[in-house]
Amino acid sequence: MSPCNAEPGTRNAERNPRTILHDANQVLVLTGAGISAESGVPTFRGPGGLWKEFRPEDLATPEAFAGDPRLVWEWYGWRREKVAACAPNAGHLALARWMLARTGVTLVTQNVDGLHEAAARSIDPAGPDRAMPVRLHGSIARVRCPGCGFSAEDAGPVDARSLDTLPHCQSCGAMLRPDVVWFGESLPVDALLRAEEAANQADACLVVGTAGAVYPAAGFVLAVERRGKPVIVVDPGPTSFDDVAAAKLVGNAGELLPALLG
């Protein structure tokens, strides 16, 4: 069966997902860890998910960093190494190609792995910025200074043997932190505003590889649906959007996105 045909979960069988996306002037795309799963980046929930092995409150909160920065940096260093060994997969590439070939798509990602950016650059290194994602949860390849606000690219290895070997700010000397959003923290205002605007203007929403368990990201999808616009979900497992989806394409993003967007 073509991935674009209505699956058992489809509520609006007469509207093909390809047609929905083709007819929409403005599309909000929300991605999560699942789009990077076929690249080798672990997801958070479900089988093999990071939150099965680790507790978010020990590693992904400001309190955890204040209590044991060495442990937190060790974990982010390990994730950096994992991501550095990964390349964009067919799902990232199909999405980037589609965004470069048309206008009116805003890609909002919860991922910190940089693989959407790598996909866009690999297709057209000097291409327009419109295939670049709005990063809701920051970037694992950046650092930020809680003291003076300095921030910079840094995807290098982390030496977490002691507090002294952890990254320190070149401006004020304070300990740097990963430039990601932790639980209990506000999202970057720019990213939030851009995502809100895209949700308010979208004629359709494409959701890929997110369980929909974390807000405000999940709320953007529901905002589109509340405006009566169709939501298409691409995911091999259950998501919190399944009940409101006009179409659920059950399977891996690396297989389904090239067929849906190609």
Q: Which residues pair with 247 in a beta bridge?
A: 232
Residue from 239, 245, 247, 248 in contact with ligand OAD (CB under 6 A): 239
| Residue 134 touches ligand OAD, criterion: CB under 6 A | no
Residue from 211, 223, 246, 260 in contact with ligand OAD (CB under 6 A): 211
| Residue 114 touches ligand OAD, criterion: CB under 6 A | no
Residue pointed to by tokens 């937190």: 72
Residue among 157, 237, 14, 30 nearest 165 (CA): 157
The answer to whether residue 92 is catalytic is: no
Phi, psi of 207 (to 5 degrees): -115, 125
Residue number with the shortest CB distance to ligand OAD?
Answer: 34
Phi, psi of 231 (to 5 degrees): -115, 130
**How far apart (Å, rounded) are the C-alpha atoms in residues 105 and 126?**
19
Residue 127: other Cβ atoms inside 10 A: 14
Stretch binding ligand OAD (CB under 6 A), from 32-40, 94-102, 125-133, 220-228: 32-40
Q: Measured from the CB of residue 134, what is the shortest distance to ligand OAD in angstroms?
A: 13
Nearest-5° angle of CA 141, CA 142, CA 148? 165
Assigned token pair, 213 = 């368990």
Selecting among 22, 92, 137, 168, the annotated active-site residue is 137
Local structure of 143: helix, strand or coil? strand
Q: Measured from the CB of residue 248, what is the shortest distance to ligand OAD in angstroms?
A: 11
| Stretch 160-199 residues interacting with ligand OAD (CB under 6 A) | 181, 183
CB 4 within 8 A of CB 248: no
| Stretch 59-78 residues interacting with ligand OAD (CB under 6 A) | 60
Query: Count of residues binding ligand OAD (CB under 6 A)?
Result: 29
* Active-site annotation, residues: 137
- The residues of the shown chain that bind ligand OAD, judged by CB under 6 A, are 32-35, 37-38, 43-46, 49, 56, 60, 110, 137, 181, 183, 208-211, 213-214, 235-237, 239, 252-253
